Amino acid sequence: MKLDAKAYGTVRKVKDDSIISEDEWVLFQVRDNAFAEILPLYRDVCVRLGCDSEHIAAVGRLIDRVNTWRLHHHDKCKIPGAHGEKLLDQDQST
């Protein structure tokens, strides 16, 4: 089952260039205000679950990159929504 109804494409792992199946990924945009707010909580949950230090550090760097991008592109940041989207999980013929 395709998980993300608002996005499509090919996603590859950096470590071995293998393709990640569409039933294993979702996309959040850096301009999404909710995504930006939830990232620190995600990091906290990773710590609680016992994720390795490399992953925790990578999430920290992601938070820094997201915050930097948002600082320089505050005009592109927005409250998330799907109004007007062509959602891939809805019947478009009705």
Indicate if 40 and 16 belong to the same structural domain: no
Which domain does 70 fall in, by range? 31-76
Q: Is residue 85 part of a domain?
A: no
Among 83, 67, 57, which residue's Cα sits nearest to residue 33? 67
Q: How many CB atoms lie within 10 A of CB 39?
A: 17
pLDDT at 7: 87
Say how far apart CA 72 and CA 65 lie, in whole Å: 11
Q: Would you state the pLDDT for residue 90?
A: 64
Across the strands, what pairs with 20? 11
Spell out the per-residue pLDDT of the chain, length 94, in tens: 888 888 889 999 999 999 999 999 999 999 999 999 999 999 999 999 999 999 999 999 999 999 999 999 999 999 988 777 777 676 544 4
Does some domain include residue 20?
Answer: yes
List the end-to-end C-alpha distance of the chain, in Å, as a whole number. 22
Structural domain total, the chain: 2
The predicted structure's pLDDT at residue 25: 94
39 and 4 in a common domain? no
